[in-house]
Structure formats: structure tokens, C-alpha cells
Amino acid sequence: MISKTYGIKGMHCASCASVIELTLKKVPGVVSIESNYGTETIKVSFDEKKISAEDLSKKIEPLGYSIIIPSKENVYMASPAFAKAMAGDAKKEKLEEIAKQRNLVLSALPLAVISIFIMGWDLLAQFKVAPMPSYAVSEFFHHLLPIMATYMLFVVGKPYLLGFYRFLRYGKANMDSLIGIGTSVAFLYSFILTAFEEPLGRFINVSHTYYDVTIVVITFIALGKYLEVRSKLKTGDAIEKLLNLQAKTALVIRDGKETEISINEVVHGDLIIVKPGAKIPVDGVITEGTSFIDEALVIGEPMPKEKNVGDTVISGTLNTNSTFTFKATKVGSETLLARIVTMVQEAQGSKAPIQALADKISSVFVPIVLVIAFVSLAVWLTVGTYFLGFSQALSYGLTSFVGVLVIACPCALGLATPTAIIVGVGKGAREGILIKDAATLEKLHKVTTVVMDKTGTITRGKPEFAGIKNYSLLRQGSGGQAKLGDAEVISILAGLEKKSEHPIAHAILEYAKEKSIEAADVEKFESVKGKGLKGIVGAIEYFAGNIKLISDLKIKFDAKSIEAETLQGKTPVILATAKEVVAVVMVADTVKPEAVEAIQNLHKLGIKTVMLTGDNANTASAIAKQVGIDQVFAQILPEDKLNKIKELQAGGNLVAMAGDGVNDAPALAQADVGIAMATGTDVAIETAGITLLYGDISKIVKAIRLSRITMRGIKQNLFWAFIYNLVGIPLAAGLFFPLFGWLLNPIFAGLAMAFSSVSVVFNSLRIKVKRI
């Protein structure tokens, strides 16, 4: 059993998507199928032993569609460079199709202008605003219109004729079928009147033909399709922009020489040189040199970040100022950029639950419209003949018949959801918010409670310098040890701690490095097991460690103030001599700088915040108070996190869970929306529906705002699509004619239909410029 996504040729409307789904669902071996008109793709799960993609394509080819199957040598290699080449080919094909449509529209527009001119002159002449055309002019136009209509129907309108033909042969109707039936009937009726003008003139008004309807309707629809395809191309530009981030080549060191190779040839362990102004080709770790890396286009961080030996670099980011060397650790599909591209592609091709209503309507829409069109024609020919006479009733009946078929396009319905999802997911990717599927994006806007893990989500996830209390500077008088400044205290501590592997030691050394404080030279270093360290600096013996170490030295110190700091989740490192405490340095897993503002913004959105942590209650409460969390559950196991999520859901909350560790995975899976920090484990990222690049929790707020904006856009699209059809079809059918004398000319129906789809796409594109 495999599940794959394929492009579809010939998918012109929402009803096309429904026809493809209904046809392929019946094929033995197909387990599930999901078509997406917005991306012109299908996602199909099938048994390779029973059916192949080629066989599936053959099933829909008679209906005018085909599956785009990559050749064996062109199978997607999952590297952004290869994807870029494939995307380039797809875009080239799309641009060729657009150019072809543009040429057809350009050939049709002059004919439509002539036809509208003739109609306008005719109408003005009837109201005596313009003079009646002479006999010669009338005869010229009388013979010109059939020629123009023939070209329009059989050249520009060829797709619609084929749709009509496939409907007659296979019984499968789509939007092309409706247009084909309507314009063909209008043309055929007019042609019969022209060919048998004299014999038919005794029974009906032969001067009233519908060549102009055929010409203008097909022109407007072709123009609308052209504009729609062009604007749809803009909705998916997020993928193209991501692919353009990828470098084409890499400068590697092989056999002691610098060699420039394609990034597809880079392997794990390659040493790669990156010069100023160059893009980083794959993910890796710096082995030599230092530089500032601009990561804005990949992770949304505006300021270049300093990178040193041991730091990670990401493919697609830009080296700004210095040459450095790094070791390739992730290549091809493993790189962060490749994973981002894949996630965005899959999310844009997925369906939101709200789309189900539009899909259901689209699937039954065309048959219903056909019935309405034929019923309206029948009513006009029966009831209308009784009141108006056969000739007038036939004229109105044909107007209604063609008008209903033309105006009833479900394209706007079909585009309402996918176009907004495509733009929304793309905007999220540019903001460092990776959305796994459309369902997640939809659910997010309803979230009432955000649950967060503490370590790595609210806090940085590693010990950091949190403060210093220098008793040396507080002492009065001349007795005791000489006064030491804060920098001197840190220097002594760094000298002692640099020989330790403890995480707290790393925190002090990092702070010293950040402040450019050199570690003091230490003699006779010794580790005191379970308590701390000791060594001689400048002929004085210093001790650095915990409260127990100082107690053993029988030195008086302010234990209560240290305990108060400990209750806030801080760990004390006490520096002392054999006689007195010199200073106390606090180390803690500090709160992320963006955490406080993020919690405040969540509250502004009306969302409750909850912290779940395995840490002790005192530390958890202190952190929660610091950032403004509403509710805290501390000292809980991973399975308890899962149960707490269930409890919140049982209480009527729609829950989003944010975490970064393996222990968060069960809770992330249980939550209505799982949000993973990209700085966390792969398990958490795979489990979650949303990944926040760089572990920035302020992006949770942006993700919720993006969801709300996108859902608002979808609802606006659906509203206008529904209203358009609900009002347009009865108006075209003549329902308002007895009361108000209103009857929709098929030409205006074609114009409205063409621009309804375009308006939906442009409304979706507005999401791009919204601030989140």
C-alpha cells in the first residue's frame, strides 16, 4: 500500500475534481483519494499489486484528464535543488498553458467587441436613440456573426465542446459540459434559424439569433479562466521562494583540494568552505572559523546570528562576512530546508474540514444544474407559450436555459478553501511557522487553551548565568579578604569550572566568554565529590560548590537568602575561601525573552494558558508567575501530561499543546493541535501538527492569528460563492420574471461567472499582506 500525490492535467474546475474522485474511487485497489482543485493535484492511496499510477491515469483519460507521472530517472529525490528543477519544469508547462490561453483570449476579444457593438446598436435603434442600420449593414452583420460564432465555438470553445461530448458519451458532467451544452444549443438554434430562415419565419421570429451569446459568453469565460490561472499561480509562490533559497553548488575539500561540486553530490562528513555572500548548501556544524549568518528567509529571525566552532548552520541561509568551514551532517531530504519544502507542499495540497461542504455541493451541483436548465426551458415552452406565445416563450426559454448553464459555475466554491489554505500555509512558512496540514490550520483558530511544557518551550532548556551577589564588595573595614570585583569573581570561578564537565560549569564559562572575561590560572585543582571544586588562584585557596561544601568548611553565610533563590528554581554556586564566602553566583534555566510577551498576547486573544512540567512545584510556580501563566501542573510524568490534556478537553476546551521533548510526544498527539519547537526532538516534530522554527513561542500567537485570518478569508470566499449561485440560478431561470420582469442575459451570466472565481482568488491573496 502506498500513498502518493500526483499532478493532474485538465482539472479546470471544482466539478472536475469531483468527477476524478468519483471515477477513481470505484477502481479496485484504490483505498482513498483526495483531489484538490486549488493545487490541481490528487493524493491517492492504492495497492501497487492491484493497480499502478499509469492504470489510474488511463481510467480518467477518456474524461479529459491525465495523471502527471514522473519518469523513473526523474523521481523526486527530495533535495530542494532537484525539487527546484522539477518545480521549474512544472511552472514552465503552466506558463506555456497560460500563454496559449492568452493567445486565444486575444483572438476572441475583438470578436466579442464587434458582437457587443452590434447588440448595442440594435438596442439603441429599438429605443430610437441611434438610427436603424441600412439593409447592406444589416446583411453584412447577418453573415458575419455566424462566421465569428463558428470560430469562437470550435476553436476558442473547443474544451467546452469536448466536455459536452464526454457528457454525452460517458455521462460524466463538469463545468466544461455545462458551458458546452449552453453555447452549443445557442449556436445550433441560431444556425437552424439562419439556414431555414424562410420556412421557419412563418412560425417564429427568425431575426432573433444567439450568435452573440455564443461569442461573448465564451470570450468572458475564457478571459475569466485566463485571469484565474494567472492569479492561482501567485498563490503557490511560497514553494518557489523556498526552493530559490537553495544553493546550486558546494565548495568541498576533497583529497586536500577545494573542489566545487553540485549539492546533489555532497555526502555526510564532507568539509565545506563557505565564503562571504555565499549560501550555505546543506546542514552542518562549523569546524573552523566564525561568521554572522543571515537566517531570516528560513527561520524568520531578522538579525544575523554569530556562529562559532561547534554551532549548527542551516542550508539556504546566507553567510554575511567571514569565510568558515563546516562539516556536512544532513544532506538531500534530511536538511531543514528540504523538510520545510516537503511540509509546505503537503500542507498546501491537503484539505480543511470546512471544504467538505463545498466538495459535497460541487459533486452534485452539475447534475442539479442540468435538471434546473431543462425544467426552466420546459416551463417556458409550456406556461410561457400560454401567456406570451410560442415565439417569445421559445426566445425566453433559450435565454434561461443557456443562462442557467453558464452562471451555475461551481468554480468559486471549489477555489474558496484551497486558495486561502495555499496562501496561508505559504505565509506561515515565511514567518517560521510550519503547518503540517490544512485541518490543523483550521482547528487552530478555535483553540481556547494553550498548554506548554516548561523546559525548552518557556525556558531556554539549558542552565545559564542568572545573577551574582558579591559579598566581597559588601564587606566593611579592613579585615578579611581583599575586595574583588564581579569580573574577578567570574574569572576565578571560570578558572575552577573550566576543568569540570558539569552543565553548571558550562553556564559559567559561557557567561565569562560572553563578557570577555579570561579564566584565572588555577593550581592544585581538586574535585570534591558531590560538593564542588577547590584550587589555588594567586596564592589563595578558593572553594566553589554547593551549600554542603560551605557547611563542611564551617563558614558563616546567609543560608536563608540562598534558599529563597533556590525556591525560584535557581541553583547557587558559592565561591569561598577557607575563612569566608566571597560571592554567590546563581545559575538557572532562564525564561526565553519572548515568553512574557507571548503569554500576554495569548491572553489578549482570549486564550487560557497552562504549564505542564516534571520539575518541582516551587520552580514551576516561580516560572509561571514570572511569565504570567494561568495554571500550573508540576512534578508530573509524561503519561500524566497526556491525562491532563484529556481532562482539559473533557471540560470543553479545545487544546493546543506546545512542547519539544520525547516526553511531550503523547500529549502533542492527544491535543487538538500539537505545536513542536524545531529546537526539540524529531519525535516531537513528527508528532505535532505545527512546528515553530527556532523554538520561538511568540510564533504560537502568530500561528493562531494566521489561522483566524485564513479562516475568515475562507468564510468570505464561501459566502460570496454561495450567494452568487443562490441568487444567480433563480434569476437566470426566470423565477423573478413574472413579478419584476427580470431575466438574466447569458452574456452577463458569463461575465459574472468568469469574475466570481477571480474575485475569490484575489480575496485569498489578501492574506499575504495581512500582518500577523
Q: Which among 265, 345, 422, 431 is positioned nearest to 90, based on CA atoms?
A: 345
Side by side, the strands of the sheet bearing 257-262 are 257-262, 249-254, 271-274, 324-330, 283-288, 312-313
CA distances from residue 142 to 71, 149, 264, 324 in whole angstroms, order as listed: 53, 12, 65, 78
Q: Are strands 30-36 and 283-288 parallel, antiparallel or unpaired?
A: unpaired
Count CB-CB contacts under 10 A for residue 284: 27
DSSP-assigned letter for residue 335: S
DSSP β-bridge partners for residue 279: 318
The DSSP output letter for 72 is: G
* Class of residue 601 by CB neighbours under 10 A (exposed 0-12, middle 13-18, buried 19+): middle
Q: Count of CB atoms within 10 A of residue 457's CB? A: 31
Can you read off the three cell numbers belonging to residue 669? Answer: 498527539
What element of type H or E holds 459? Answer: none
Q: Which of 489, 458, 454, 464 is nearest to 586 (CA)?
A: 464
Beta partners for 691?
A: 434, 676
Q: How far apart are CA 19 and CA 11, in angstroms?
A: 10
The catalytic position among 359, 453, 660, 664 is 453
Q: Report the 10 Å Cβ neighbour count for 716.
A: 16
Query: What are 68's three cell numbers?
Result: 502527471
d(CA 212, CA 254): 72
Query: H or E stretch including 287?
Result: strand 283-288
In the annotation, is 453 catalytic?
yes
Closest CA to 227 of 772, 761, 697, 758: 758
376 grid coordinates: 426552466
Sheet of strand 655-659, all strands in order from the earlier edge strand to the far edge: 433-435, 690-692, 673-677, 655-659, 449-453, 608-612, 631-633
Q: Of 724, 758, 6, whose CA–CA distance to 365 is shortest?
A: 724
Backbone angles phi, psi at 82, to 5 degrees: -70, -40
Residues with Cβ within 8 Å of residue 302, at least 6 apart in sequence: 296
- Cα 109 to chain center, whole Å? 37
What are the catalytic residues? 453
